[in-house]
């Protein structure tokens, strides 16, 4: 008991202060802990093996460990990383390597600084974490040693101000003459230091203002300085589109129009951008150069034949009237290669089999195969690799029965990225083959 009192008195001078933190970052906290220093179990593991110690239940008993007291400081750096500092004192017989064990207990003061890597942020009650850091000790007032503390920890929040922590470290010696392998277990209570973050005070809303005294408050009044009517949001009877026809008589109050169309613009019945007065085919969408009448659209994809690069295959206007392979459920993203080569993967071959079938079913379609890479390597090597990959795709399709004159290849190397090459996912997206259909 006298030893414990001496340790407690030695530690009482080290308690410090901190400051408040964000809700998900651990606030500064100090605590006190009870510890057990265990040289026996570490020695048995090193002289036999961990499996034998576990199998024979040769973990050290409490009487073989040295109890101690410590003070602890914690400070969150990020949501999942905390700094921890520990100062611990105990009386023990330190088994120095290659030296006789002391005949009596002596004072051991140890201190370490560690990083705690947490699974969860502060908003969770229970937080397991990994421990790694650097520590040192002074034994008997004259032996100094250094060690690396590694281990596991558990933090349990009781309230906003207090939490329980439990740690178990395996300390690996750095100074092999004055430090030895041992376990260090501790349990303690810590509390927040410094002021807690004050909640933001929200000012009460200001009373509503009605500047023009028309019974409609300014926040809802579109004409706050001119008296108006509620049905016009506080404005006088308006002419919103400024076409000379007030909104009560205007059938198109937000679009400027003509009186003969009751305030509406000249209509465009077929919505082709040519008003009915100038449209020779007012009920059928057409083109201005044909006075509103349509051109022939053989495949019915809304792209006139004279502009359609694939006039017999229904496609997309944005693709010049040609379809895309995606329309046929072909997934270009699956066309991948063995890393750093132009060798197709099995998944890529299976997808290209689908592509070959599609082209055989649509013999009028031609495909441009474009190879791309990320920026790993030199631009020259990436250019060659992209060309080889495009050529490998063409060769496979030809092998599957597609005529070679329907396929063209181009390599763009790393010049046309579609994602950020600084990330793994971005580089993966840039390593691609694109397929463009033409006629």
Express as a percent the part of the chain with pLDDT over 90.
Answer: 41
Arithmetic mean of pLDDT, 277-301: 80
Q: Is the pTM of this model over 0.75?
A: no
In this structure, of 9-18, 112-121, 333-342, 380-389, the range with the lowest mean pLDDT score is 9-18
β-partners of residue 117 are 81, 130
Class of domain 2-192: mainly beta
300: pLDDT strictly greater than 70: yes
Domains 2-192 and 317-438 share a fold: no
Residue 19 pLDDT: 34
113: pLDDT strictly greater than 90: yes
Arithmetic mean of pLDDT, 92-117: 91
Mean per-residue pLDDT of the chain = 85
Arithmetic mean of pLDDT, 228-247: 83
Q: How confident is the model at residue 310 (pLDDT cuts 50, 70, 90)?
A: confident
Domain ranges of the chain: 2-192, 208-259, 317-438
Class of domain 317-438: alpha beta
pLDDT in tens, 174-190: 998 999 999 999 999 99
Surface-to-core class of residue 165, CB atoms within 10 Å of its CB (0-12 exposed, 13-18 middle, 19+ buried): buried
pLDDT in tens, 334-363: 898 887 889 998 999 999 999 999 889 888
Q: How confident is the model at residue 4 (pLDDT cuts 50, 70, 90)?
A: very low
Q: How confident is the model at residue 197 (pLDDT cuts 50, 70, 90)?
A: low
β-partners of residue 128 are 154
């Amino acid at each position: 008991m006298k030893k414990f009192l001496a340790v407690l008195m030695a530690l009482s001078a080290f308690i410090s202060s901190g400051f408040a933190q964000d809700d998900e970052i651990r606030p500064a906290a100090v605590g006190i802990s009870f510890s057990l220093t265990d040289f026996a179990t570490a020695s048995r593991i090193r002289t036999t093996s961990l499996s034998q110690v576990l199998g024979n239940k040769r973990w050290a008993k409490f009487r073989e460990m040295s109890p101690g007291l410590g003070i602890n400081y914690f400070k969150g750096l990020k949501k999942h990383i905390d700094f921890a500092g520990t100062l611990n004192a105990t009386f023990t017989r330190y088994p120095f390597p290659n030296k006789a064990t002391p005949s009596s207990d002596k004072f051991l003061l140890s201190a370490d600084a560690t990083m705690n890597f947490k699974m969860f942020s502060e908003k969770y009650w229970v937080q397991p974490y990994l421990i790694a850091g650097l520590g040192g000790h002074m034994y008997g007032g004259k032996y100094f040693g250094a060690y690396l503390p590694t281990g596991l920890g558990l933090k349990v929040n009781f309230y906003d101000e207090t939490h329980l922590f439990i740690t178990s470290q395996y300390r690996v010696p750095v100074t092999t003459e004055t430090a030895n392998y041992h376990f260090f277990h501790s349990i303690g209570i810590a509390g927040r230091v410094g002021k807690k973050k004050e909640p933001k005070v929200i000012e009460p809303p200001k009373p509503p203002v009605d500047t023009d005294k028309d019974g409609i408050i300014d926040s809802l009044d579109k004409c706050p300085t001119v008296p108006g009517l509620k049905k016009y949001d506080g404005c006088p009877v308006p002419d919103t589109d400024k076409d000379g026809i007030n909104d009560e008589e205007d059938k198109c109050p937000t679009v400027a129009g003509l009186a003969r169309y009751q305030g509406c613009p000249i209509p465009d019945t077929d919505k082709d951008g040519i008003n009915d007065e100038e449209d020779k085919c007012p009920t059928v969408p057409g083109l201005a150069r044909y006075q509103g009448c349509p051109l022939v659209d053989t495949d019915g994809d809304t792209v006139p034949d004279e502009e359609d690069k694939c006039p017999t295959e229904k496609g997309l206007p944005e693709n010049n009237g040609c379809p895309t392979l995606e329309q046929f459920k072909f997934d270009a993203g699956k066309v991948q290669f063995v890393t750093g080569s132009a060798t197709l993967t099995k998944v890529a071959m299976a997808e290209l089999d689908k592509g070959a079938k599609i082209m055989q079913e649509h013999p009028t379609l031609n495909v441009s195969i474009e190879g791309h890479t990320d920026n790993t390597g030199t631009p020259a090597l990436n250019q060659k690799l992209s060309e080889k990959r495009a050529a490998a795709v063409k060769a496979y399709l030809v092998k599957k029965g597609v005529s070679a004159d329907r396929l063209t290849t181009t390599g763009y190397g790393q010049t046309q990225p579609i994602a950020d090459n600084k990330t793994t996912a971005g580089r993966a997206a840039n390593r691609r083959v694109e397929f463009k259909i033409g006629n």
